[in-house]
Structure formats: C-alpha cells, structure tokens
A = this chain, B = another copy of it.
C-alpha cells in the first residue's frame, strides 16, 4: 500500500465514470415497485443490498478484484423482511445467493438430490418435502403478492449508480423506507481512464496495479439523497478490536442511524448494533473526501452498543436447516422495532 493523491469525491465520481448499460431500465423498475407499495396504506419498503462488487481491471473484462461475500446475510435477511410484511428490493451481485433458493446451493444441498422419478413424472422425495414446503410456500407467496423485486449488479460502478438511482426513487417513501446496506462494496477501483482495453498480457514479470479509493457514498446518501430513510450500514472486520471504534466513526462521519458490526469469523452467530443513544440521525455532517476514518471527537456516551448472539445450542451452520435459528431473524426483528419507532417519532 502507498499513499496517493487522486481521490474521488462522490460528485466527481459520477461526473467521470460512465453509467452502466441498463441503468435506466433497472431504476425505472425499482421506481414502479416503490410507487406501487407507496400507495398501499402504511406499507414499508426495504432496500437490501447483497453480495460483493467487482472491480474490473480490463475494459473487456477477464480479470477483476472482488470482495469475499456469498450474499448469505442479504439473501437471508430479505426472507425475514418479507415475512415481517415488508416489500423488498433485493439489489444483489449476479450469481450471489438469493432468498429462498439459498437453501439449496449447488454444492452443499444440490436440488437434483431432492428429486426422484416415477413413471415419467418427477417428485420431491418425501424425506425432503417437510423442509422444502414452507420455503416453497413463502417463495410462491412473494411472487403472488409481488413483494420481492430482484435487481442484479456486478461491478462496483453498477452498484454505485444503481444505489444512487434506487435511493432517489425511494425518497418519496419518507420514513417508510429502510436501507439495509449489506453488500460488500469494494474500497478501491480502477477509473476508466486507467483501465486496460484488452486482457493484460502476462509473461513480463510482475503486475503492478494502482487503484483509487471508491468515494464514500453513504454521506450523500444520508445527507442528501434520502433525508428521511432509516439507514443501516455494515462493518466487517477481521480484528474485533476495530469493530466498535470503526462503527462509531462511521456514525459520526455519515450521520445515519445504525451500524451493524461483524467479525469475519463470528458473523454467523454474533453481531453488534452500534447507534446513537437517542437512536437519531446526525445532520450537517461535512464531507472529508479521502479523509481517514477517524471520528470527530465525540462523547462516548453518545453511543450505545447492543450485542445479538445466537445461543450455543442453536449455533450451527447458519443456513436455516431444520428449524435452526438464524441470526438474521434476530437482526430483522430488532430492525423492525427501530424502524417503527423512527416512523412513529415523526408522527408524534
């Protein structure tokens, strides 16, 4: 790692990096979905972002930088938001896990193993039916009610443009909109003018790459794009000692309501909610492009932490098998309460 000078503000990013193909169509679909559910009395809408973003190293992409994320957190949480009555926009990385079908990954639990043939018809074997039935019913219910809209992204550039677009179309929801930003977004990217046109040829020794920092769009998202939404961001760290300081720093810097901190190795059964003691936003936060993630000096009493943990007995693989409790169920329950208070606060 080295220090560099070419730092993009959010504004200069969107000014210099081209919008992806299909942006208008996808944004329009999200807009129609929001408009429909805005018209349904009291209905809440959540945006769930999920999966990692890629950073292409070549315009005709063969190589890319990626973030570790199967999309488990997002896909699982989306199911619980649906069962809590939310309309869900599931903005996810292509080929990452999806609500409902996540229970049957091609490697761990291949769906072909569920099936058996009998005189020209194919049925799910009786021993698999009990587990699949509630999943299939919830999947069909979401289809019939139209409560789930899935939109794909691949690159960090697609993600950023789509996030900006969907935040714009969700703004009219006011406090009824929640933003659950679980995607693992790259911190670095290769601007278009530095990108190779074709596959980088090997055979010439080492490869040196210099990447620019992705602008922290959470600030304009909170402070400009959606002044009323309930916003949840995530911090993933591999060293637990960074979790709470970095979560507080993010709250101070961006001004939103909640950071969910998780440690890479314990994220399936333990997370921490970090928020202001009053549960509110902080307005008038200033942008510091490229600045370090250190918080302005703030009283530690301003913040509170709530740990959510699965009990040892229920702590397992975290894929929702056989009535196992998933931590996303606890997370979503807590969030629904906070979101309802946030809505009620405005009305009182």
Q: Which residues of A contact B (CB under 8 A)?
A: 1-7, 54, 57-58, 60-68, 70, 94-95, 97-98, 100-101, 104-107, 110-112, 115, 117, 120-124, 126, 129, 132-133, 135-137, 139-140, 152, 184, 186-188, 198-213, 236-239, 264-265, 290-293
Residues in B neighbouring A122, C-beta threshold 8 A:
123-124, 129, 132-133, 136
- When the two chains form their complex, are residues A290 and B98 in contact, meaning their CB atoms are under 8 A apart? no
Using known A-B contacts A123-B124, A293-B203, determine if residue A70 contacts B54 with beta carbons closer than 8 Å.
no
Number of chain copies forming the complex: 2
Residues in B neighbouring A187, C-beta threshold 8 A:
200, 202, 207
Closest residue on chain B to residue A143 by CB atoms = B113
| A103: min CB distance to chain B, Å | 10
Residues in B neighbouring A184, C-beta threshold 8 A:
62
Q: Which of A1, A206, A290 has the most chain B CB within a 10 Å cutoff?
A: A206
From B54, B60, B124, B203, contact of A292 by CB (8 A):
B203
| A60: min CB distance to chain B, Å | 4
Using known A-B contacts A98-B107, A111-B101, A293-B203, determine if residue A62 contacts B58 with beta carbons closer than 8 Å.
no
A24 and B64 CA atoms in complex are apart in Å by 30
- When the two chains form their complex, are residues B207 and A1 in contact, meaning their CB atoms are under 8 A apart? yes
Closest residue on chain B to residue A115 by CB atoms = B136
A204 and B294 CA atoms in complex are apart in Å by 11
Using known A-B contacts A117-B137, A121-B124, determine if residue A205 contacts B213 with beta carbons closer than 8 Å.
yes
Residues in B neighbouring A112, C-beta threshold 8 A:
100-101, 135-136, 139
- When the two chains form their complex, are residues A66 and B68 in contact, meaning their CB atoms are under 8 A apart? no
- When the two chains form their complex, are residues A60 and B205 in contact, meaning their CB atoms are under 8 A apart? no
Residues in B neighbouring A7, C-beta threshold 8 A:
205
- When the two chains form their complex, are residues A2 and B105 in contact, meaning their CB atoms are under 8 A apart? no
Residues in B neighbouring A139, C-beta threshold 8 A:
112
| A180: min CB distance to chain B, Å | 20
| A314: min CB distance to chain B, Å | 26
Residues in B neighbouring A136, C-beta threshold 8 A:
112, 115, 117, 122
Closest residue on chain B to residue A204 by CB atoms = B3
- When the two chains form their complex, are residues B202 and A188 in contact, meaning their CB atoms are under 8 A apart? yes
28 A-B pairs whose Cβ atoms sit less than 8 Å apart in the complex: A1-B200, A1-B207, A2-B205, A4-B205, A4-B208, A6-B205, A57-B65, A58-B238, A61-B68, A64-B67, A66-B66, A95-B106, A101-B111, A101-B112, A111-B111, A115-B124, A122-B123, A187-B207, A199-B239, A203-B292, A204-B292, A206-B211, A206-B213, A207-B209, A207-B213, A208-B210, A209-B209, A209-B210
A123 and B229 CA atoms in complex are apart in Å by 42
Closest residue on chain B to residue A54 by CB atoms = B66
Residues in B neighbouring A207, C-beta threshold 8 A:
1, 187-188, 209-211, 213
Using known A-B contacts A4-B206, A65-B65, A211-B207, determine if residue A120 contacts B101 with beta carbons closer than 8 Å.
no
Q: Which of A1, A5, A54, A97 has the most chain B CB within a 10 Å cutoff?
A: A1
| A93: min CB distance to chain B, Å | 10
Using known A-B contacts A100-B112, A122-B132, determine if residue A291 contacts B203 with beta carbons closer than 8 Å.
yes
Residues in B neighbouring A291, C-beta threshold 8 A:
203
From B98, B140, B239, contact of A198 by CB (8 A):
B239
From B4, B107, B199, contact of A152 by CB (8 A):
B107
